[in-house]
Amino acid sequence: MKSTVYFCKDLSPESVLKLYQKLGKELTGRVAIKVHSGEEGNPNFLRPAFWKPVVDHVGGTIVECNTAYDGARNTTDRHKVLLKKHGWSDMYPVDLLDAQGPDMVLQIPDGQTIKQNFVGKDLANYDATLVLSHFKGHVCGGFGGALKQLSIGFASSYGKRYIHGAGDAVDCWNAEQDKFLESMADAASSVVKFFGGNAAYINVMKNLSIDCDCCGETAKLPCMGDVGMLASLDPVAIDQACVDLVYASTDAGKADLIERIESRHGSHTLEAAEKLGIGSREYELVGV
């Protein structure tokens, strides 16, 4: 059965809310609104004001986790400073999920590569999630969207290393590529199941760089023009639709982003996530 993915070309804060409302999904209880806070010096991440109408409407809490690499977000103290510098904590209530340990461990009995996912322990305080993703390239995964937010995004600093290492948090940067991608899908599935369907996803195809917002000043500038925004209740379908829109674009700059996706075998994350039953690569794109 095809999933529904809504698409809007207008890249305005008001259209983010319009897309969310089109889903017809009321997120109940305490809502964790997952964003990417943006590495120090990154020119491409989506600023807090862009999300304000939908955040105000949902009334949830902005959530993030610390990183697994050196930078301005790899410790709680540094990350809190950057959250303020980038305007997140001035505009919204913010919860750094792994500010203090121990991590919360989600079991993945049907995991293809990993059987556990280590997330920020404060995730236990939430009943629903709105995953707000900036779709773009990624140096490790090929692309980053909803599935990356669900996996690497919700993982604690230790959990990020565990996923990258396909179960080895020590030698975490040398895992076989497909095993790393499968680990991302495994981790994403555990978060999807934790929320039990009380979730919604928005991907924004703007500032389309080959690099993730995890990169600082070294991040490449956008390689192609903005495309639009998508919303769905299916994290696999929304990411698949974004990848398909890149391929379908007439912008010559898409070649750089496609090379990034293909050289990292990014489609395998979609294949693995679909195999786990958390979404479908088959979808209907509905214009808004």
Cα torsion 238, 244, 250, 253 to 10°: value is 80
Confirm whether pTM is higher than 0.85. Answer: yes
d(CA 281, CA 203): 15
Q: Crossing angle for the helix pair 157-164 and 177-195, nearest 10 degrees?
A: 130
Mean pLDDT over each residue of the chain, to the nearest integer:
97
Q: Indicate whether 13 pLDDT > 90.
A: yes
Q: Where are the alpha helices (DSSP H) in 41-87?
A: 52-58, 76-85
User: How many other CB atoms are found less than 10 A from the CB of residue 116?
Assistant: 17
Beta-strand ranges (E) seen in 59-114 are 61-64, 94-96, 104-107
d(CA 86, CA 108): 34
DSSP 103: P
DSSP 2: P
- Tell me phi and psi for residue 237, to 5 degrees: -60, -40
d(CA 20, CA 146): 15
pLDDT at residue 222 in the model: 96
User: How many other CB atoms are found less than 10 A from the CB of residue 255?
Assistant: 11
Q: Indicate whether 31 pLDDT > 90.
A: yes
CB 224 within 8 A of CB 139: no
Q: Indicate whether 135 pLDDT > 90.
A: yes
> Model confidence over 56-94: pLDDT tens digits?
999 999 999 999 988 889 899 999 999 999 999 999 999
> Model confidence over 191-243: pLDDT tens digits?
999 999 999 999 999 999 999 999 988 999 999 999 999 999 999 999 999 99
> Model confidence over 242-288: pLDDT tens digits?
999 999 999 999 999 999 999 999 999 999 999 999 999 999 999 99
